[in-house]
Structure 1
Amino acid sequence: MDLNQILPQLESADEEETEKVLKQFNLENSHTFTFDQNEEALRIKLCQTVLSALGSPMQPSCQRTCLETLRILSRDKRVLTPVATREGMLTLGGMARLHPGQGGGDAQSEEEEKVVVEALKCLCNVVYNSPAAQQVSVDVQLAHGLCASLQTARTWHHEVGLFTLRLLFLLSALRSDLRGVLRREWHAGRLLTEVLEHTLDVRWVGSYEAARPDPQALPMPAEDNERAMEALKALFNLTLSDAGGEEGDHQFRLIAAILRHLLMLKTETEEKTEEAHSHAVNLLNNLPVSCLDVLIDVPVQGGLENYGGKNMDAIQVLLDFMERRIDKQGSNYKEGLTPVLSLLTEGSRHHREIRRYIKAQVLPPLTDVKIRPEIGTTIRNKLVRLMTHVDMGVKQTAAEFLFVLCKESVDNLLKYTGYGNAAGLLVARGLLGGGRGETQYSEDEDSDTEEYKSAKPFINLITGHVEEPMPNPMEEMTEEQKEYEAQKLVNMFDKLSRQNVIRPMGVRPDGTLAPLEETLCDPADDNSGSDSD
């Protein structure tokens, strides 16, 4: 429909005619709405006209049609000026029943509920596309109304809950100044935790222990999964900064317990399960590392004697998730893999049982040292390959993970990866000369196999495996030929050095690289000479 025809019709139309005209517009533009700059002024006027109509009393069906039109128009951020005002946001907030005292949990007809859903969808679009609308949302305390709505979560119909949570996520993502207010004044963190408990059907059997999901139970319904994902995303934003205090610690542990429960659940598809695990990993990274013991401290469900009686089911799920992310072809490792690597690294660094369990799965005792560490299909092989990845963040995160599993011992790391793969980490940490990191670890028993011990003297430290003996090219040379080749090599290095192509380097006492002349000892400072007779 031509906007030049629609606008005059709407100026004189009654409610029935308005609904008829806008329904036709919605039908034609719901899937193929284009952003024509020549019509920008007309669309702004249509937006204003529809918003004015919503301010007048009308039937829910006409309200819904007007809101659908606004939702379509709100995809274009250039026409949002009439909506991104105090009056516009109050109108939409009122229709979404987000103003205090509106009774969001009161019984509504099906048509009234559809109006609420359309208003929430409009608000999501407007807030996402308009910084001015974001500021107005803060001014009219739209987030307060959202938190009031969270209190009625048990009575939500699916779409009301879904878009309420999505709007809260958008506001908390786009307005960092709002997070503290949401957490402190309106207790949004606690409310979102309760939403997750209800949505995931958590049944507590201990302070921070949820009952094990029934293996015979049906997968989590898709609608419940959708709402849970939106709640997790909003909770992620609210936990980006530490709330602190005893109450904060309790809340964090409660979240960790719910996330453990989520990790053990299955959804209707593997893709949705993967998405749920991804959000759980992101949120776990925001929690204090001391709270990660909740993942393994589940006495009612039993544990493994080898790991202090701790239950490692959730850790195994995280390891499986990590390996799937590594194997995923064409995936963005920085976004998809580094969060779970970081989580497992910090968990291993601060919780001995977690480190011991992960090391047993990732770095089992070496038996075959004839193959290079980066070649093969084991999880160790895959992680060692990542140590030379082109993305610096991925490379460093993978190397740090393996380093922590080796208790930050350079010798242990080189045993599993080879010097060539580990060089980047060792340079960054100033450990080229060997030694350990700063973290203190308990002493475990020697885990070297007899096969490794017997092969150790023959392992190439650079490549990390036993190499077949190479023929000596100098064996059949005469002394004159050897001298000639040596002099040729010296001349090549001298030329490259004078042209600054290469620069001789040495290792300082602290393990860092430096120009060779800086690392050579001054003979006057050398006190290691023998005493005179």
Structure 2
Amino acid sequence: MDLNTILSQLETANEEDIEKLLQQYNRENIHTFSFDQKEETLRSKLCQSVLTVLGRQVQPSCQKTCLETLRILSRDKRVLAPVATREGMLILGGMARLRAGQEEGDNQNSSQDCTQSEEEERVVVEALKCLCNVVYNSPAAQQVSVDVQLAHGLCASLRTARSWHHEVGLFTLRLLFLLSALQPDVRGVLRRQWHAVRLLTEVLELTLDVRWVGPYEAARPDPQALPMPAEDNERAMEALKALFNLTLSEAGGEEDNHQFRLIAAILRHLLMLKTETEEKTEEAHSHAVNLLNNLPVSCLDVLIDVPVQGGQEKYGRKNMDAVQVLLDFMEKRIDKGSNFKEGLTPVLSLLTEGSRHHREIRRYIKAQVLPPLKDVKIRPEIGTTIRNKLVRLMTHVDMGVKQTAAEFLFVLCKESVDNLLKYTGYGNAAGLLVARGLLAGGRGETQYSEDEDSDTEEYKSAKPFINPITGHVEEPMPNPIEEMTEEQKEYEAQKLVNMFDKLSRQNVIRPMGVRPDGTLAPLEETLCDPHEDNSGSDSD
């Protein structure tokens, strides 16, 4: 239908005709909406006309149709000027029952609205969808949302989560996520003034049906229970994404510490749940990992400290079920072989920090990833074990992935260079050692307990024959100069000297050495011993 025709008829049509007119437009454009630049002005006028209709007292069915039209139009960021105004955002906020711009008492009253009909519910959902599109596509609308305190209305809605229908809850949480992602200044207000972290935690607790059996300990999920419904999983993911934004900058204080530990306990519960598909379960675990990375590392003890359920004697009676889930998740991400930066590095960073600060976590992970060596005839990067896969990542082309994998293994070795070289070989570990200034050996700065895994008899017997560069026992290679005459040996040696001299004079290569502190330096500097005492010269 021609937009000029629609606009001319909207000016004089009654409510019923408006609804029919826009329904036809929606059917024609819902799947094949064209962003034709020639009609940009007309679509912008249509936005304004639809808002004008919504500003009048029309029936819910007409409101729903108008909002569907506005949702289709809001895909085009160039036509949103009429909506990205105080009046436009207040109209949409009112339709979504967010009561944006109203006082605290009015917001509280809004949560006590009478039960909505199904048609009124669809109006709320369509308004929330429109707001999501408009806020995402229009920086001007984002700023207006701040001015009219749209986030305040969203927090008031969070308090009514128990009475939410699925889509109302889903798009309320999605809108809060978008606003907190696109307007960083709003995050502080949401945390401090409107207690959004606590409200989102309560929504997550309700959605995941958490039942507490002790401080920061949720009851173990029933193995025979059905997987988490898809709708609950969807809302939980949106809540996790919003919480991620709000916890990006840590707050301090005892109250915050309690809230963070509560979140960690809920995330542990989430890690133990299954959804309807393996793909959705992995997505849930990915969001849980991202949020756990934002929490203070001291809170990670909640993942293993579950007294009611009990744990393993060898790990101080700590429960390692959640850590094992994280290890399995890490290995799945490695096996995917792509998107390591976003998909793998968060879980590697989480396990690294958990291992660095929590002895039981490190001991458990090391037993799984770096068990005592037995077969040292195969290079560390060859094979299908987790160790083999991680060692391969130590030479990955992406610097971030390479460094994160190396740091993880280094922490598992208690930041001991000798232990790291034992499991990876010097060639794979060289990048980390150069970056940390540890080429001369030693340990990192972090303090670890003194317990050490004893070497296996197989490793002890093979140790003298291990090539420290490759990290494995190599087959003896034939000596290429055995059959040479003395004249041939002298000729080859002189040729090699000439080649190095030429490359050095052309600055192609520069001989380097290792300082006492383990860093690289030009060879002439390392040959001068700063501690050499020259006072004992022949002079009297």
Distance in 1 (CA, whole Å) between partners of 2:357 and 2:536 is 45
Deviation per CA, 1:482-531, whole angstroms, max 9, x where unpaired? 11111011111111111111111111111111111221215993469999
Whether 1:221 and 2:229 are equivalent positions in the alignment is yes
Q: Which moved more, 1:42-51 or 1:513-522?
A: 513-522
Report the 3-state secondary structure (helix = DSSP H, G, I; strand = E; otherwise coil) of the residue aligned with 1:435: coil
Whether 1:51 and 2:51 are equivalent positions in the alignment is yes
The count of corresponding residues between Structure 1 and Structure 2 is 531
CA contact (8 A) 2:372 2:453 kept: no
Mapping 1:429-448, distance limit 5 Å: 429-448=436-455
Relative distance call for 1:447 and 1:218 in structure 2 (3 A) is same
Residue aligning to 2:241: 233
Residue aligning to 1:489: 496
Report the 3-state secondary structure (helix = DSSP H, G, I; strand = E; otherwise coil) of the residue aligned with 2:110: coil
Relative distance call for 1:280 and 1:531 in structure 2 (3 A) is farther
Q: 1:92, CA displacement in angstroms?
A: 0.3
Deviation per CA, 1:119-161, whole angstroms, max 9, x where unpaired? 0000000000001000000000000000000000000000000
Distance in 2 (CA, whole Å) between partners of 1:214 and 1:18 is 53
Distance in 1 (CA, whole Å) between partners of 2:82 and 2:481 is 85
What TM-score, normalized to structure 2?
Answer: 0.97
Residue aligning to 1:246: 254
Distance in 2 (CA, whole Å) between partners of 1:268 and 1:527 is 77
Distance in 1 (CA, whole Å) between partners of 2:315 and 2:174 is 40
Residue aligning to 2:157: 149
Relative distance call for 1:200 and 1:422 in structure 2 (3 A) is same
Residue aligning to 2:284: 276
Q: 1:180, CA displacement in angstroms?
A: 0.7
Residue aligning to 2:174: 166
CA contact (8 A) 1:98 1:104 kept: no
| 2:519 counterpart (501, 508, 512) | 512
Residue aligning to 2:299: 291
Distance in 2 (CA, whole Å) between partners of 1:464 and 1:526 is 39
Residue aligning to 1:450: 457
Whether 1:501 and 2:508 are equivalent positions in the alignment is yes
Mapping 1:1-80, distance limit 5 Å: 1-80=1-80
Q: 1:96, CA displacement in angstroms?
A: 0.3
CA contact (8 A) 2:111 2:159 kept: no
CA contact (8 A) 2:145 2:151 kept: yes
Deviation per CA, 1:16-56, whole angstroms, max 9, x where unpaired? 00000000000111111111000000001000000111000
Residue aligning to 1:477: 484
Q: 1:445, CA displacement in angstroms?
A: 3.3
Residue aligning to 2:122: 114
Whether 1:197 and 2:196 are equivalent positions in the alignment is no
Residue aligning to 1:98: 98
Deviation per CA, 1:417-442, whole angstroms, max 9, x where unpaired? 00000000000000000000000000
| 1:136 counterpart (144, 148, 159) | 144
Mapping 1:345-384, distance limit 5 Å: 345-384=352-391
Relative distance call for 1:226 and 1:518 in structure 2 (3 A) is same
Residue aligning to 2:314: 306
Residue aligning to 2:266: 258
Q: 1:103, CA displacement in angstroms?
A: 1.8
Ranges in structure 1 where 5+ consecutive residues have no aligned partner:
none
Amino acid at match of 2:166: H
Distance in 1 (CA, whole Å) between partners of 2:47 and 2:307 is 59
Q: Which moved more, 1:101-110 or 1:250-259?
A: 101-110
Q: Which moved more, 1:490-499 or 1:102-111?
A: 102-111
Distance in 2 (CA, whole Å) between partners of 1:188 and 1:524 is 60
Deviation per CA, 1:458-498, whole angstroms, max 9, x where unpaired? 00000000000111111111111111111011111111111
Ranges in structure 2 where 5+ consecutive residues have no aligned partner:
none
Residue aligning to 2:89: 89
Deviation per CA, 1:61-102, whole angstroms, max 9, x where unpaired? 000000000000000000000000000000000000101525
Amino acid at match of 1:263: L
